[in-house]
Amino acid sequence: MSPPVPSDLGYVPPDGGWGWAVVFGASVSVGFAYTFPKAFTIYFKELQDFFGTSYGEIAWVSSITLATTYGAGPISSILVNRYGSRPVVIFGGLLCGIGMISAAFCTSILQLYICVGFITGFGLALNLQPSVIIIGKYFLKRRPIANGLAMAGSPVMLCTLAPLNQFLFDNFGWRGSFLILGAILLNCCVAGALFRPIRAAPASVKPQNKTEEEGGKDCCEKINQYLDFSLFKHRGFLIYLIGNVLMFLGFFAPIVFLAPYAKHIGIDEYSAAFLLSILAIVDMIARPTTGIIANSKWVRPRIQYFFSFSIAFNGTCHLLCPLASGYTGLVVYSIFFGLAFGMVCAMLFETLMDLVGAARFTSAVGLVTIAECCTILLGPPIGGELFPLMDFNHLSASDRFKAVPKIKIGLFWMAWFEISKGKDPQRSMLTILNLQQGLQSSEDKWAH
Amino acid sequence: ITSYILTNIFNESCFFNTKCVSGTSMEKNITLDSATIIELSCRLDNKYSHLKSLQVTWKRGNETIRHIDKTENSWSIQMKILDSSKLGSYSCILKGEEEISAIFYLQVPKIEGKEKPIVSYEGDSAIMICKSSGYTPIAWTWYKINGSEQTAVPLDFEGYVINSVSANVTHLKILKLTKEDDGVYWCEAAFELGRSKGNLKLKVLSLMVPLKPFLAIVAEVVILVTIVFLYEMYSKKKEKCAEDEKEFDQIEQL
């Protein structure tokens, strides 16, 4: 008796071979998408002086880029559903390049908003989603490792982009740097070229539906083909969505505030910057390691618990931060924070894939990112607002603020699992059993 | 009256051990921007008040200034600082077994320029900013250093816009840069007690400069993409050949 097909893809993913090239491409894409808005902040001072604007107006450039990258998620998903990952990523890479190259010739801050904010942001959105999606198409058994490795691209790229940006700026000024950055972003096209479509392109699955489309289908059903809104009926997906949205409120704030907090308690600029480097390096190692741990046969079936644990760990880390005294305390905090941050990021998409399955993942990731979009933008400014209000004991209580949503979320996740198991034990056990069986069957296949 | 005090803590061994090589020397920088009366004091820490055989002199350069013995172990001078001639270094020298001195440097406020050069392009505009932290200058003047000559050229003609966003900050905007605009610039702040300079460097590049790395990277991208696609076509052909061979074998078997 042949065991049931473990995934809902309709085929068995290779779990290796060309998949590793895809992982490499994905890490490059993901790296650019996450780190570009952060690394771009180096240019702020110069741009502020050149255009004679306030810091807030310049900071909007990064915010618009971030908002577009996350907000254009559903559009990205629709395009991938229709055309597959490869054309979308290549087009995204071209957009990024064009955006930055045109930014080099900007004469007003508004033009910068459009070129860097919207065009490059949209290009990055077209990079991020397809990269994560295609991993689900190439891997099943080793998917957590693949995800961990792909997400490791982000800290690696941050460590390279930040000093590179500084070097470019010192030697070419901001216009020259934008021009060269445009060329560098074109490398996303190389990453895209590596995304060889597997099986037939997803569009071929829909040809029958296409003809029916012409026959005047219900508008909602038509939209559903491209973006699976039925996901909103999926309880696991809803919990993931709400949990994520809340988590992102406090997720990035610590990174934004770490250096200012260090300077606030009297540490010099370079040591404060070094804290972020420690964070990035630990993050870099933590992501693939988490992937490997998540892939082990003890953790894989319980990956959702592992994810909630890492979120709770994150929150505890921040709650304990005010206890950190002096520079060594902050170094220890940075190490743990890097570890926790890496763990959460490595499994961010893996858990979603695990929940909804690889076929519906395309739509799921689009819907999740647009929801995260708002909270990501609101997080640091809210933290900044709370800073003076909660400044008791002369401690930066923005750190305490950061911790609160995350502890909340961690507990939320943990609570979910208890409830989910209690309310619908059959369904959750079934998914776990299916996965185990699937893993077993693919292991047997490999054995032969 | 503003008072400035330097407390000397002498190295004990210097007094009891004749083999001590050098005494301690202390310095203090004092920033003054407008006319004022100041008092400078040198004070000996209470520990050493038993050392009576101390000769104290206040000097400015070679010129000795009469001082007041404020208390048993502090000596001070009072001065009216009205113009730049009164600025400089004032030292109090205590002669015991060894000579120890403390120096006060009276100076005008320092101006922040920029350490790293500002990079801009021909035809573009550039902004140079100078800030005076804490003290408000009476006037700002901009100079450009001409080539190898050290003579400064004041800039108040066409193509240069000098703006003051606030009294402490000055902007020099150069529209339509050319190669000749490349070089060192001074922003000079005039205070009641003198002038102070900030240094800025402007680099004007031609558009060709960033174009070279740009084209190199674009070429690299195109080459890599081509390689990836060619490899894909090649491996697809290999797969097809392998499949055709398998079919051929199967037909042969029949």
Using alpha carbons, list the distances in angstroms from residue A333 to A1, A250, A398, A405: 53, 16, 15, 18
Residues of B in contact with A177 (CB under 8 A): 210
What is the predicted pLDDT for the residue at B11?
Answer: 42
Q: Residue A319: which domain range? A: 228-448
Say if residue A309 is in the same domain as residue A192.
Answer: no
pLDDT tops 70 at residue A404: no
Q: What pairs with residue B189 in β-bridges?
A: B140, B196
Joined tokens for residue A8: 């809902």
Asked if residue A243 lies in contact with residue A416, where contact means CB atoms within 8 angstroms, the answer is yes
A269 and A162 within one domain: no
Distance CA B86, CA B60 (A): 10
Mutate to test the interface with A, among B119, B207, B218, B226 (most CBs of A within 10 A): B119
- pLDDT per residue as tens digits for the range A132-143: 999 988 988 889
Residues A235 and A367 in one domain: yes
Residues A257 and A300 in one domain: yes
In this structure, the strands spanning B63-65 and B55-60 are: antiparallel
In whole angstroms, what is the distance from residue A162 CA to residue A255 CA? 15
In terms of domains, do A125 and A17 share one? Answer: yes
Name the DSSP class of A198. -
pLDDT score, position B45: 66
Question: Has residue A254 been placed in a domain?
Answer: yes
Distance, first Cα to last Cα, chain A = 16
Say if A206 falls within a structural domain. Answer: no
Nearest CB neighbour to B232, from listed A179, A189, A196? A196
Question: Quick one: three-class SS letters along chain B?
Answer: CEEEEEEECCCHHHHHCCCCCCCCEEEEEEECCCCEEEEEEEEECHHHCCCCCCEEEEEECCEEECCEEEECCEEEEEEEECCHHHCEEEEEEEECCCEEEEEEEEECCCEECCCCCEEEECCCCEEEEEEECCCCCCEEEEEEECCCCCCEEECCCCCEEEEEEECCEEEEEECCCCHHHCEEEEEEEEECCEEEEEEEEEEEECCHHHHHHHHHHHHHHHHHHHHHHHHHHHHHHHHHHHHHHHHHHHHHHC
Please check whether residue A130 touches B, CB under 8 A: no
Q: Which residues of B touch A180 (CB under 8 A)?
A: 210, 213-214, 217
Instruction: For residue A308, give the CATH number of its domain.
Output: 1.20.1250.20
pLDDT band at B213 (very low <50, low <70, confident <90, very high): very high
Count up the domains in chain A and report the number. Answer: 2
Q: What are residue B230's phi and psi, to 5 degrees?
A: -65, -45
Q: Tell whether A190 lies on the interface with B, counting CB pairs under 8 A.
A: yes
Judging contacts by C-beta atoms under 8 Å, the chain A residues touching residue B121 are: 173, 175-176
Distance CA A275, CA A254 (A): 12
Question: Same domain, yes or no, for A320 and A412?
Answer: yes
Radius of gyration of chain B (CA): 35
Residue A376 has pLDDT above 60, yes or no: yes
Alpha carbons B71 and B44: distance in angstroms, whole number: 10
Q: Which of A197, A216, A247 is the last residue of a domain?
A: A197
Q: What's the pTM value of the predicted model, to 2 decimals?
A: 0.78
Is pLDDT larger for residue A415 or for residue B166? B166
A185 and A59 within one domain: yes
pLDDT value, residue A442:
44
Whether A203 is in a domain gets the answer no
For residue A270, being part of any structural domain is answered with yes
Q: Do A268 and A168 belong to one domain?
A: no
A271 and A344 in one domain? yes
Q: Is residue A221 part of a domain?
A: no
Task: Tell me, yes or no, whether A223 lies in a domain.
Answer: no
Distance from CA of B63 to the nearest CA of A (A): 42
Least confident among A138-147, A302-311, A337-346, B10-19: B10-19
Nearest residue, CB atoms, A193 vs list B120, B214, B225:
B225
Do A332 and A415 lie in one domain? The reply is yes
Please state the rounded mean pLDDT for residues A230-254: 77
Q: At what angle do helices A303-320 and A398-423 cross, to 10 degrees?
A: 160
Residues A245, A358 within the same domain? yes
Give contacts of A194 with chain B, Cβ < 8 Å. Answer: 228
Cross-strand pairs, B88: B106
The answer for residues whose C-beta is within 8 angstroms of residue A253's C-beta and 6 or more apart is A379, A380, A382, A383, A398, A401, A402
Average pLDDT, stretch A81-98?
A: 92
Candidate from A5-19, A171-185, A311-325, B204-218 with smallest mean pLDDT? A5-19
A66 pLDDT band, cuts 50/70/90, is confident
Tokens coding A249: 């409120």
Q: Which positions in chain B touch A179 (Cβ < 8 Å)?
A: 210-211, 214
Is residue A318 located within the same domain as residue A173?
Answer: no
A202 within a domain of the structure (yes/no): no
For all residues of chain A together, what is the average pLDDT? 78
**Closest listed residue to residue A113, CA positions, set A64, A59, A68:** A64
